Structure 1
Amino acid sequence: MATVDFYEKPGCIGNAKQKRLLQIAGHTVRVHNLLTEPWTADRLRLFFGDRPLTDWFNPTAPAIKQGNLQPEKLTAGEALSLMIQHPILIRRPLLQVGDRYAAGFDLADIDAWISLAPETNLSEDVQTCPQQSTVMD
C-alpha cells in the first residue's frame, strides 16, 4: 500500500470522500492544507504533468465561475503565479506518492496508479462538489 500526500481544502465534502476511498483501499493518507501550503511555481507545476493548462484550475473557484478569470488565456507562468497567490484556484486534491504527482481524483486513473478497493465504483463522480449548485468554493 502507498503513502499518499493529499492536499485538500479543509472541510471539502468531496475531498473527505476521496480520502475515505484511499483509506478503504489500505493506503496511508497524510493530509495537507492546500490553501496554506507554501507553494513555489516549480513544486506546484509537478502536480499537473502533461495535463492541459485549463485542467490545472478548480472550475468551481469563484473567479472562474463568475467569469473574472479565463484560464485558457493564461501562460503557464501566469497560471502558476495566480495559483500561488490564490490557492483556491488550484484543482484539488493534489496527490503525491513518492516521486509521482497528480491533480484531481479520477477514480480510474487513481486505481491504475495505486489501486483502490475492488468494490469501488470507478464510474462514480467524486471530483464534482456534491454541493456545487449551492456552494461556491
Structure 2
Amino acid sequence: MAHIIFFQKPGCINNRRQLQWLQSSGHEVHTENLLQQQWTTERLKAFFGNRPIAECFNQTAPAIKSGQLTPEHLSDEDALAAMIKDPILIKRPLMVIDHTLYIQGFDQQQLHQRIGLTTTDTTTPTMTEDLTTCPRQTTEHAASPDSSHPA
C-alpha cells in the first residue's frame, strides 16, 4: 500500500475516477485542492521532471482553449509564472507517492508498475480507459463547439 497525496480539481470527473481507482487498489489517499495551493516554481518543477513545461499544461483550461495562452510560445519562466498565478493551467492530477515520488498526470501503466492498480471492481476503470481527456469536453464539443467549460 502506498501513501498518496492527490492534488485534484474538486468536481473533476476524471480526478474522481482516478481517486476511486487508487483507493480501491488499497492505497491510502489524501486529497488536496490543486487550485488552492501556494505553488512555487521549485514545487511545480518537482512534479514536471525533465518534460518540456509546455507539456505540463492542462489543455482544457479556458485560457488555452480560447487561444489566449499558447504554452509553446512561453519561456519556462513565464509558463511557470502563469501556472502559479492561475493553477487551473496545471495538468492534473499531481501526486506525491510515499513522500518521495512526484508524478504529474495519471498514466495507468506507470502507476501499476510503481504501486499496483487493481481492476477487480466492475466500477473501477481499466488499464486502457482514457482517464486524462475530460468526458465533459467530449460531450460539450459534440453539443456545442464553442463551449468553454473550465475543465
Shift of 1:78: 1.1
Partner residue of 1:103?
Answer: 104
The amino acid that maps onto 2:83 is M
- Higher helix content, 1 or 2: 2
Farther-moved stretch of structure 1 (97-106 vs 26-35):
97-106
- Map 1:14-53 onto structure 2 (within 5 A): 14-53=14-53
TM-score, normalised via structure 1 length: 0.94
Farther-moved stretch of structure 1 (110-119 vs 77-86):
110-119
- Select 1:132's aligned residue among 121, 124, 137: 137
Farther-moved stretch of structure 1 (50-59 vs 31-40):
50-59
State whether residues 56 and 90 of structure 2, in contact with CA within 8 Å, keep that contact through their aligned partners in structure 1.
yes
Q: What is the aligned length?
A: 137
* Cα-to-partner distance string for 1:6-38 (whole Å, 9 max, x where unaligned): 000011111000000000110011000000011
Partner residue of 1:61?
Answer: 61
Unaligned runs of 5+ residues in structure 2 are: 141-148
Shift of 1:121: 2.0
Runs of 4+ aligned residues of structure 1 deviating over 6 Å after TM superposition are none
Unaligned runs of 5+ residues in structure 1 are: none
Shift of 1:118: 4.8
TM-score, normalised via structure 2 length: 0.86
Cα distance in structure 1, aligned partners of 2:75 and 2:117: 35
Cα distance in structure 1, aligned partners of 2:39 and 2:107: 23
Farther-moved stretch of structure 1 (50-59 vs 87-96):
50-59
Cα distance in structure 2, aligned partners of 1:14 and 1:30: 16
RMSD: 1.2
Cα distance in structure 2, aligned partners of 1:87 and 1:126: 20
State whether residues 9 and 35 of structure 2, in contact with CA within 8 Å, keep that contact through their aligned partners in structure 1.
yes
Partner residue of 1:123?
Answer: 128
State whether residues 10 and 33 of structure 2, in contact with CA within 8 Å, keep that contact through their aligned partners in structure 1.
yes
The amino acid that maps onto 1:16 is R
Farther-moved stretch of structure 1 (99-108 vs 86-95):
99-108
Cα distance in structure 2, aligned partners of 1:18 and 1:99: 20
The amino acid that maps onto 2:70 is Q
State whether residues 54 and 79 of structure 2, in contact with CA within 8 Å, keep that contact through their aligned partners in structure 1.
no
Larger radius of gyration: 2
